[in-house]
Amino acid sequence: MIIKTIGSDKVNEYLLKEAADQVRPDRYHVSYASFLKNCHTLDDVETKITMLKDVLGKNLPSVWNTFFSSVKQRMHP
């Protein structure tokens, strides 16, 4: 999953780096590995999902909800 940013927002950049790998100054790649880094519990995952939704907006394409569900399943298969 790729996130493209517009403009510069240091807070959002910091938050994106918590869930994604920066591949260009304006692009971030979200993978299972990048998203789950520093997540030790399902609560950690839920917190990161909420944080990312705050950055990206609540009305995300369905592919994001599928990704979030899949991430939760990886924590508790």
How buried is residue 19: exposed, middle or buried, by Cβ count under 10 Å (0-12/13-18/19+)?
buried
Tokens of 29: 């790649």
Backbone angles phi, psi at 2, to 5 degrees: -115, 135
pLDDT in tens, 21-61: 999 988 999 999 999 999 999 999 999 999 999 888 878 89
pTM greater than 0.85 (yes/no): no
| pLDDT above 90 (res 74) | no
Alpha carbons 34 and 17: distance in angstroms, whole number: 9
Q: What pLDDT score does 77 carry?
A: 61
- Domain containing 38 equals 2-75
Provide the number of structural domains found in the chain: 1
Helix (H, G, I), strand (E, B) or coil at 27: strand
